[in-house]
Chain A
Amino acid sequence: MGFFSKLFKGPEVDQEKSRANAKKMRLLFNQVVENGDDYKLIFGYTEDVARFNYGFVHGSKTKIGNLIVGWNEDSETIVVVPTVPDLSGCGDPSWYRRSEILKAYRNKYPTDAFIIYPDRKSYIGINAYDWLDDESLYVYVSQETELAEFTDFFTNRFAKK
């Protein structure tokens, strides 16, 4: 392979690091969710964009929340566990059972996020990609197959109007 083809190939996934992080995600998830092995996992994140206007300075601030997202096809349940990019710990899980939620759909604009409304007052928008390179903001994990499976489950089994 020539120098230029290597140069223009773009960033490549460090599979070893990705596998180690996938293992950590599983450990954290199983720690807080009973029968955690019954769930498949992907990494997702939420984006909270807030606009501010401080007189002559105005703009927007974006907060990223990292999530371990587990889903069980038999019980049609999604479990969301908050975490941090280095996977040093996690918070308490939130459960979204299809039979109990108000609605769920795949958003198209501004991002193709997975939106769940557990009730009329609250919602969660889960963004997920095959791989995100920025380790300071996101969990470093490659999840092409898992994301395809989750997308299929969400759109064909979990979505609700």
Chain B
Amino acid sequence: MPLEEIGVILLVLVVVFVLGQLWFHLVESVLNRIKGLFSRHKEPPAWHPLPKEQEDTDDI
């Protein structure tokens, strides 16, 4: 198989891959927006940040 044909096949594969990625992210963003519309009024789950460790203040 000549190099040109191999190059064309690889190029087609790259184009298919890039289009697939674009399509995936497009559909994902649309779905996320639709989900966001339904969960707008939901309260976010409670979150407790890591407590800062007690430092010794009796050094002085």
Chain B: residues with Cβ within 8 Å of the partner, total of 12
Once bound together, how far apart are the Cα atoms of A148 and B6, in whole Å? 54
Hey, which chain B residues are within 8 Å of A91, CB to CB?
A: 45-48
Interface secondary structure of A, over-half rule: mixed
Say whether B27 contacts A27, CB under 8 Å. no
Say whether B45 contacts A92, CB under 8 Å. yes
Say whether B50 contacts A92, CB under 8 Å. no
> When each residue 66-94 of chain A gets 1 if its CB lies under 8 Å from chain B and 0 otherwise, what string results?
00000000000000000000011111100
- Chain B residues with a Cβ under 8 A of chain A: 20, 23-24, 27, 45-51, 53
On whether A54 and B24 interact (CB within 8 A), knowing A91-B45, A92-B45, the answer reads yes
- Chain A residues with a Cβ under 8 A of chain B: 24, 27-28, 31-32, 54-57, 87-92
Hey, which chain A residues are within 8 Å of B47, CB to CB?
A: 89-91
Once bound together, how far apart are the Cα atoms of A32 and B45, in whole Å? 14
Least Cβ distance of B53 to chain A in Å?
8
Closest B residue by C-beta to A87: B50
Say whether A28 contacts B50, CB under 8 Å. yes
